[in-house]
């Protein structure tokens, strides 16, 4: 108690009115985060299917040596990576710092896919399946954006705070 300071104590959690500790509670939005991860995975599976189908059609009708374009191949590769690696997000969401990094990386990859799809397939003279490809890339990106905001909030909430005693 030198110089009017209180003795140091270890960080303790406070008890809520329901008797549970803040550190023991799971977030209210964990079911919503799981549903968001499922939505992202399903939309990436749909984007994977549509882009693979379109590449197959281009190769079928334009010849086997025809190049479908860098943008469509990029969208296909990002969809394949998301389908393959996004299953980890179901295991990572209890660890907000890893989940935040994982979602940040994939959100930037999907942002480029959204830009490519919007530039290439927003014309009204393209087939409607390309509009569906564009729509599902938007869904995957906005799902990842929600995951970033939620995991940042969860990570920020989980860090212990110290209060200065005067």
CA separation for the pair 40, 3 (Å, rounded): 56
Residue 105 belongs to a domain: yes
Q: Residue 49 belongs to what domain range?
A: 28-158
Residue 151 belongs to a domain: yes
- Tell whether the model's pLDDT for residue 22 goes beyond 70: no
Residue 37 C-alpha from the chain's centroid: 7
Q: How confident is the model at residue 152 (pLDDT cuts 50, 70, 90)?
A: confident
Q: Average pLDDT over the chain, rounded to whole? A: 80
Would you state the pLDDT for residue 52?
96
Would you state the pLDDT for residue 117?
93
- Tell whether the model's pLDDT for residue 18 goes beyond 80: no
Residue 164 belongs to a domain: no
Residue 145 belongs to a domain: yes
Residue 5 belongs to a domain: no
Would you state the pLDDT for residue 146?
93
Q: What is the mean pLDDT of residues 95-113?
A: 87
Q: How confident is the model at residue 47 (pLDDT cuts 50, 70, 90)?
A: very high
What pTM did the predictor assign?
Answer: 0.75
Residue 142 belongs to a domain: yes
Q: What is the mean pLDDT of residues 101-121?
A: 93
Of 140, 138, 150, 109, nearest to 39 (Cα)? 140
- Tell whether the model's pLDDT for residue 136 goes beyond 80: yes
Would you state the pLDDT for residue 101?
85
Q: How confident is the model at residue 14 (pLDDT cuts 50, 70, 90)?
A: very low
Residue 8 belongs to a domain: no
Coil, strand or helix at 52? helix
Residue 11 belongs to a domain: no
Over pLDDT 70: what percentage of the chain?
74
The two three-digit tokens of residue 105, written as one number: 């990386």
Q: How many domains is the chain built from?
A: 1
């Amino acid at each position: 108690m030198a110089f009017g300071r209180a003795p140091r104590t270890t960080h303790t959690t406070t008890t809520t009115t329901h008797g549970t500790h803040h550190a023991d509670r799971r977030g209210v939005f964990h079911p919503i985060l799981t549903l968001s991860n499922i939505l992202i995975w399903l939309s990436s599976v749909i984007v994977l299917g549509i882009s693979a189908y379109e590449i197959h059609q281009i190769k079928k009708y334009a010849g086997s040596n025809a190049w479908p374009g860098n943008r469509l191949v990029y969208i296909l590769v990002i969809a394949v990576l998301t389908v393959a690696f996004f299953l980890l997000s179901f295991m990572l969401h209890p660890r907000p710092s890893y989940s935040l990094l994982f979602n940040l990386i994939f959100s930037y990859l999907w942002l480029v896919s959204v830009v490519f799809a919007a530039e290439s397939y927003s014309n009204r003279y393209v087939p409607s399946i390309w509009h569906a490809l564009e729509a599902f890339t938007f869904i995957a990106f906005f799902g990842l954006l929600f995951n970033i905001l939620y995991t940042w909030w969860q990570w920020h909430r989980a860090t212990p705070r110290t209060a200065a005693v005067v």
